[in-house]
Amino acid sequence: MTPGVRPLVAGNWKMNGLKASLGEIVAMRKAAEAGAVGEAELVVCPPATLISDAAALLAGGPVALGGQDCHPRGSGPHTGDISASMLKDAGASHVIVGHSERRDAYGETDALARAKAEAAGAEGLIAIVCVGETRAEREAGGAVAVVSGQIRGSLPPLSDPRRLVVAYEPVWAIGTGLTPTAEDVAEMHAAIRGLLGEIYGPAGATMRILYGGSVKPANAAELLGLANVDGALVGGASLKAADFLGIAGVCRRG
Ligand code: PEP
């Protein structure tokens, strides 16, 4: 945790969730209102089909809503895409960009992630920009260099960098049950912190850096207790309110 920073725990539902799953979101709100989530700020990112319904259920409460992606343009001939203004209109305040599953499946580049983060910022959304190395890159000893390159390429200049969140997600840890060692996470987050200082100056010291990749209630305390780890981006374990809340519950303000 970083001194003075409120942790953020974001849930990425990916392509999961029907209307029947909205009860999980209601349970998240109730727990947050009851003060059962430590000192974390919560964001849930359901599929786009559920954002409006979720917005109605979360309105006026402590749990924020995010999209999982946005197009860099505001509108136009982009079949199947969603703009940052549409997400905002539907009730979202955050959006994930540059997730490794999109980088892998659709060839999304650092430049595109950066354009999406800029579009999100222009609409007043908080962009959660994902970076992370593959297993081969880590085994070759290049994890910090790879992630540093992604950070330099994916983060936009912003008038208020505190409205930007970085999520370090080793690709090989996502959905696999594997996690890096605490030393490796701490090393990477320290490197990212240094880069944020280079790019954004003093504001970089308090920008949030999340860890993502197989975070569960059982390993959350160790991972989220590390220096420069300001919360988590959670995939599978965010689908059930009890697991998501179990992760958030260990968070303490830095
Ligand atoms: C993710 O998809 O961002 C993620 C971290 O997934 P999981 O928690 O399931 O590894």
* pLDDT tens digit sequence for 75-115: 999 999 999 999 999 999 999 999 999 999 999 999 999 99
DSSP string, 43-56: EEE--GGGHHHHHH
Helix (H, G, I), strand (E, B) or coil at 63: strand
- Of all protein residues, the one whose alpha carbon is nearest to atom 2 of ligand 1 is 235
Q: What is the pLDDT of residue 251?
A: 86
Q: What is the pLDDT of residue 11?
A: 98
Specify whether the CB–CB gap between 70 and 114 falls below 8 A.
no
Confidence grade of residue 243 (pLDDT, cut at 50, 70, 90): very high
| Residue 56: CA count within 13 A, CB half-sphere | 6
Q: Tell me, using a 6 A CB cutoff, whether residue 170 lines ligand 1.
A: no
Per CATH, the homologous superfamily of domain 68-234 is: Aldolase class I (3.20.20.70)
Q: What is the pLDDT of residue 158?
A: 82
Q: What is the pLDDT of residue 254?
A: 73
Q: What is the pLDDT of residue 40?
A: 93
Atom of ligand 1 at shortest range from CA of 212: 5
Q: What is the residue-averaged pLDDT of the chain?
A: 96
Cα 150 to ligand 1 centre (Å): 18
- Of all protein residues, the one whose alpha carbon is nearest to atom 4 of ligand 1 is 235
Specify whether the CB–CB gap between 39 and 252 falls below 8 A.
yes
